[in-house]
Amino acid sequence: MKNTNKIFIALIAAVLAIPFAALSQDSTKKELVLSVNYYMNSNKAIYVIANAKTKVAKKFTPVSGINISLFLDNDSSLIGKLTTDKDGLAKAIIPPSLKAAWDLSPKHSFKAVSEASKEFDATDAEASITKSRISVDTLADADARTVIAKVESFDGANWVPVKDVEMKLGVSRSAGAVLSAGDEATYTTDSTGTATAEFKKANLPGDEKGNIVLTAKVEENEALGNLIAEKIVPWGTAVKSDNSFFDQRTLWSTRFRTPFWLLFMAYSIVLGVWGTIIYLVIQIIKIKRIGTKGGTVLS
Amino acid sequence: MENLNRLSSEQITKDLLPQKFGRRGLIWTGILAAICLVGLFAYYRQLKYGLVVTHMRDYASWGIYISNFVFFVAISLVGSLITAIFRLTNVHWATPLTRIAEIIAVSAIVFASLIIIVDMGRPERFLNLLIHGRIQSPIMWDVIVISTYFCISLLLLYMPLLPDLKILLQFKEKSGKWLNKLYRFQGSFWKGTAEQFKISERGITILCVTIIPVAFSIHTVTSWLFATTYRPGWDSTNFGAYFISGAFLVGAGGVVVAMYVFRKYYHLEKYITELHFDRMGKLVVMLSLLYLYFNINEFMTPVFKMKKSEASHLTDLFTGDFAFMFWAAIIGGLIIPIIVLLFKKGRRPLPMFIIGVMVVIGAWFKRYLIVTPTLLNPFLPMQEVPASYHVYFPSWEEWAIAMGSLAGCLLVITFFARIYPIIPIQETITEQNEKH
C-alpha cells in the first residue's frame, strides 16, 4: 500500500511539473534579431535580404535554418518564403507577379516574418524605402579626372534629386569593397543630388586594357536602402598576366612539365628497383624449371 | 636456440608444423572477424552517405584514417629490420623471428594501402592517381614506394618459405585437402636441389639488400607527405629520421608482442627462448633511445624559440587538449620501456610482452598526435567556421573502420600462422646441423 501511495504521489508531481517544465523551456529560448534590407544594383536588379542573428557570448552570430516569409507593403503580397543560409541570410527577388503593386506607389515597405522554432520565438522586421535611382559618370580634362554620382528619387510623377545622401565613391575592389576615388572615405550629395570626387588613385592595376570599375555605393540609407551603380573606365594600368612560367618545368607545374632531373631520378629508381623485382621473379621461374627437371637433392 | 641441442630434425618439424585452431584460437579469430564486420558495415555507411559520416571537416581533413595509415607503414618496416638487416649482418639468433617480422610487414602494408583508399572517400578515384598523377607530388611517390615495398616484402616472405612448403607437402594427412592444394600450387616445384638452393640464397640476399633502401624510402616519403606542407609541427627537416626511428621501434614492439603470443599459444619455448626476449629487449631499448633523441630534436628547438605561429600547436601538445595523450605516449611508449628494459628482469617474456604492448599502443597514439593537433592549429586563425570545426574526435564509423583495419591486419597474421610455419623449419634445421 505504501508503494502505491509513493507511485501516486510521484505521478501527481510529474503531472504538476509539466507546465513548469514547459515554461522553463520557453524561458531558455534565445532572442532572434531579424532585419530586412532593400537592394538595387545598377538600377536593374532589385532584391530584398533578410538577416537573422542572435547574441552568443555577447557577439552576434548568424542563425541558419530560420524559415522566413517576406512581404511587400502588406501581408497579402508575399514576395517569397525562404530559409536563412549559414550566414543567416535569405535573399529574394521581387517576383513579376508583384509588378503592378510595385508600380503603384513611389514608396514601399518590406516585412520579414520568421517562424517560431525550438530555439527562437516568431519575430518580424520592417523596412520602408522610396523608389530611387543612382548613376555614376566621369569628367576628364587635361588637369584632373572627376567621378560624379547622382541620386534621384521618384515622387510619383518625376525623378527629383536627393540631397545629403552619404555614399562610397571610388574603384570596385574584390569582395564588394570600394577604394575611395579621392581622400575622403565617403561623399555626400548636394542639393542637385550630386556627389563629386576628384580621382586621385593613379596607376591602379586594371585589366589587360587598363580598365577599372568605378562604383557609387549607398549603404543602408534609411529612406533609399542599398543602391549601387558602376561604370567601366580606362583609368587603370594595363596588367598582362605573366603566364610564362607555365612553360617551365617546375615542382609545381602540371604533370607534363615535370623537371628533367626529377624524371631522371624517379624513373631510374623505379626502373632499378622494379628491374630487380622482375629479375627475382625470373629467378623463381628458374627455380620452378629446375624443380620440374630434377637435380641433386640436398638433405 | 641453445635449447635445440638435443632436438632431431623430425622433432623440430613436428614442433613447427602449423596447428589447427583450438578453442582459444577460434574465439580470437571470431572476435577479430566480428570487429572486421562492424568495420565493413561502417565503411558501407561511409560509401552510402559520403565522408560526412566522419568528423573530418575543413580543418581536420586528415584524422584517424591517416594516423592509422602512418602506423601501418611504420610497423611494416620491421620486415626490413629483423629480416634484412639481421640477415646481412649475420645475426643468427633472430632466425626464428624473421617470418613473424615478414608477415607483420606484409599484412601491415596491405592495410596501409586499404586505409588510404578508405580516406579518399570515393574509392574509384584512386584510379585518378594513376591516370592523372604528377610525379612531382609526394603522394605519387608514396603510391609507388608502397606498392614496391609490398612486392619486395611478399617475395621476401615467399622465397624462404619454399623449402618449408616441401616439408609441409610431406604431411598431407595433417594439412588437409585444401591446404595441400595451396602448398602444391605455391611450392610443389621445390625439390631442394643444390642449384635451387643456390638461386634461392642469392635471391634472398638481393632482396635483403633491396628492401633496406625501399623500406627507408617508404617511411621517409610518408614523412614528406607532412613535411612538404607548411604547417606548425610538420614544417621540419627532422621528419624523415624521426619517422624511421619511430617505425623501427613500433616494429620491434610488434614483433615482441607476436613472439610472446605465438610462443605461448603454440608452445614454442624451445625455439623462441628467453634469450630472444633478452636480445629483443636490448634492441627495443636502443631503438627507444634513438626515437627519444629524435623526439627531443623535434620538439626542443621549436619550444626554445616558441614562435607565435607554432606556440598554440606546442601548447596544445604540452599542456592543452592533447597533453594527456602526448605525455602518455612519451612516458608510456618510450620512457617506461627504456627504464624497465634496462634491467635483466624486465627483459623476461611477460614484462617484455607488456612493454611491447605499451610501445605499440603508444606508437599508435603518437601517430594520431602527429596528424591531428597540427591540423587544428593552422597558421591562419580559424574564423567564421562552425564551432564543430575547431575540434576533432572521430565518429563511430571512423573508430569502427580503424579498429576493423587493425583487426583485419591481425586476422591476416592469424590465418598465416594457421597455414604456414611461423618459424622457418628448414632454416632452423640447417642452422642446427651447421652448429653440430
Tell whether A276 is covered by a domain.
Answer: no
Give the predicted TM-score (pTM) of the model: 0.72
Read out DSSP for B81-120? IIIIIHHHTT-GGGHHHHHHHHHHHHHHHHHHHHHHHHHH
Q: Which residue of B has its CA nearest to A285?
A: B189
In the three-class reduction of DSSP (H, G, I as helix; E, B as strand; rest coil), residue B272 is classed as coil
A286, A290, A293, A299: best to mutate for the B interface, most B CBs within 10 A: A290
Q: Which residue of B has its CA nearest to A253?
A: B136
**Mean per-residue pLDDT over chain B, rounded:** 92
Q: Which residues of A touch B (CB under 8 A)?
A: 86, 250-255, 258-259, 262-263, 266, 270, 273-274, 276-277, 279-281, 283-284, 286-288, 290-292, 294-298
pLDDT band at B380 (very low <50, low <70, confident <90, very high): confident
Tell whether A284 is covered by a domain.
Answer: no
B193, B198, B208, B214: best to mutate for the A interface, most A CBs within 10 A: B193
Residues of A with CB below 8 A from B134's CB? 254-255, 258
Q: Indicate whether A44 and A96 sit together in one domain.
A: yes
| A108: enclosing H helix or E strand | strand A107-114
Among residues A233, A253, A269, the one where a domain terminates is A233
- Alpha-carbon distances of B4 from B9, B86, B254, B428, rounded to whole Å: 10, 21, 25, 9
Question: Is residue B169 packed enough to be buried (19+ CB in 10 Å), middle (13-18) or exposed (0-12)?
Answer: middle
Give the number of other Cβ atoms within 10 Å of residue A220's Cβ. 12
What is the number of CB-based contacts under 8 A between chain A and chain B? Answer: 88
Domain with A143 in it: what CATH number? 2.60.40.10
Tell whether A257 is covered by a domain.
Answer: no
Tell whether A297 is covered by a domain.
Answer: no
Say which of B141, B195, B206 has its CB closest to residue A276. B206
Residues of A with CB below 8 A from B133's CB? 255
| A161: enclosing H helix or E strand | strand A159-161
Cell of B205: 640476399
**Contacts with B277 (C-beta within 8 Å, 6 or more apart), sequence order:** B256, B259, B260, B347, B348, B349, B352
Question: Is residue B21 packed enough to be buried (19+ CB in 10 Å), middle (13-18) or exposed (0-12)?
Answer: middle
Tell whether A23 is covered by a domain.
Answer: no
| A230: enclosing H helix or E strand | strand A225-233
- Alpha-carbon distances of B365 from A109, A225, A241, B11, B34, rounded to whole Å: 61, 57, 48, 43, 24
Q: Which residue has the cell 642452422?
A: B431
Distance CA A100, CA B103 (A): 80
Distance CA B217, CA A56 (A): 50
In the three-class reduction of DSSP (H, G, I as helix; E, B as strand; rest coil), residue B241 is classed as helix
Give the rounded distance of the alpha carbon of A69 from its chain centre: 21
Query: What distance in Å separates residue A28's CA from the closest CA in chain B?
Result: 20
Contact in structure between A266 and A256 (CB atoms under 8 Å): no
Say which of B136, B193, B210 has its CB closest to residue A276. B210
Q: Please judge whether A266 and B200 are an interchain contact, meaning their C-beta atoms are less than 8 angstroms apart.
A: no
Cell of A9: 504521489
Among residues A112, A130, A148, the one where a domain terminates is A130
Give the number of other Cβ atoms within 10 Å of residue A185's Cβ. 11
Say which of A252, A287, A292 has its CB closest to residue B200. A287
Contact in structure between A147 and A200 (CB atoms under 8 Å): no
Q: Indicate whether A126 and A142 sit together in one domain.
A: no
Q: Which B positions 98-157 lie with beta carbon below 8 A of chain A?
A: 132-136, 141, 144, 148, 151-152, 155
Q: Indicate whether A47 and A113 sit together in one domain.
A: yes
pLDDT of B188-230, one tens digit each?
999 989 999 999 999 999 999 999 999 999 999 999 999 999 9
Q: Please judge whether B135 and A262 are an interchain contact, meaning their C-beta atoms are less than 8 angstroms apart.
A: yes
Contact in structure between B401 and B51 (CB atoms under 8 Å): no
Q: Indicate whether A185 and A125 sit together in one domain.
A: no
pLDDT (0 to 100) of residue A14: 58
pLDDT by residue, tens only, chain A of 299 residues: 445 455 556 555 655 555 555 444 445 778 899 999 999 988 777 899 999 999 887 788 899 999 999 999 888 889 999 999 988 999 999 888 888 888 888 999 999 999 988 888 899 999 999 999 999 999 877 778 999 999 999 988 899 999 999 999 999 987 778 999 998 999 999 999 999 999 988 888 898 899 999 999 999 999 999 999 999 999 999 988 877 777 889 988 888 899 999 999 999 999 999 999 999 999 999 999 998 876 555 55
Among residues A86, A114, A130, the one where a domain terminates is A130
b/e per residue B225-250 (b: at least 16 CB within 10 A): bbbeeebbbbbbeebbbbbbbbbbbb
Contact in structure between B105 and B192 (CB atoms under 8 Å): no
pLDDT (0 to 100) of residue A58: 78
pLDDT (0 to 100) of residue A25: 47
pLDDT of B40-84, one tens digit each?
999 999 999 999 999 999 889 999 999 999 999 999 988 777 888
Please name the amino acid found at residue B138.
P
Tell whether A7 is covered by a domain.
Answer: no
Residues of A with CB below 8 A from B214's CB? 273
Q: Indicate whether A60 and A143 sit together in one domain.
A: no
Report the candidate in B305, B285, B146, B135 with the shortest Cα–Cα distance to residue B236: B305
pLDDT (0 to 100) of residue A1: 43
Q: Which domain range does residue A210 map to?
A: 132-233
Q: How many domains does chain A have?
A: 2
Tell whether A295 is covered by a domain.
Answer: no
Q: Indicate whether A116 and A53 sit together in one domain.
A: yes
pLDDT (0 to 100) of residue B401: 97
pLDDT (0 to 100) of residue B5: 59
Residues of A with CB below 8 A from B155's CB? 277, 280-281, 284
Tell whether A13 is covered by a domain.
Answer: no
Distance CA A219, CA B309 (A): 37
Whether residue B359 is predicted with pLDDT greater than 50 in this model: the reply is yes
Q: Please judge whether B133 and A255 are an interchain contact, meaning their C-beta atoms are less than 8 angstroms apart.
A: yes
pLDDT band at B95 (very low <50, low <70, confident <90, very high): confident
Average pLDDT over residues B125-140: 90
Whether residue B297 is predicted with pLDDT greater than 90 in this model: the reply is yes
Q: Indicate whether A80 and A163 sit together in one domain.
A: no
- Backbone phi and psi for residue A209, each to the nearest 5 degrees, phi listed first: -100, 0
**Contacts with B74 (C-beta within 8 Å, 6 or more apart), sequence order:** B219, B243, B246, B247, B250, B251, B363, B367
pLDDT (0 to 100) of residue A2: 47
Q: Indicate whether A176 and A196 sit together in one domain.
A: yes
Contact in structure between B105 and B248 (CB atoms under 8 Å): no
Q: Indicate whether A79 and A98 sit together in one domain.
A: yes
Distance CA B345, CA B403 (A): 33
Cell of A298: 640436398
Q: Indicate whether A108 and A181 sit together in one domain.
A: no
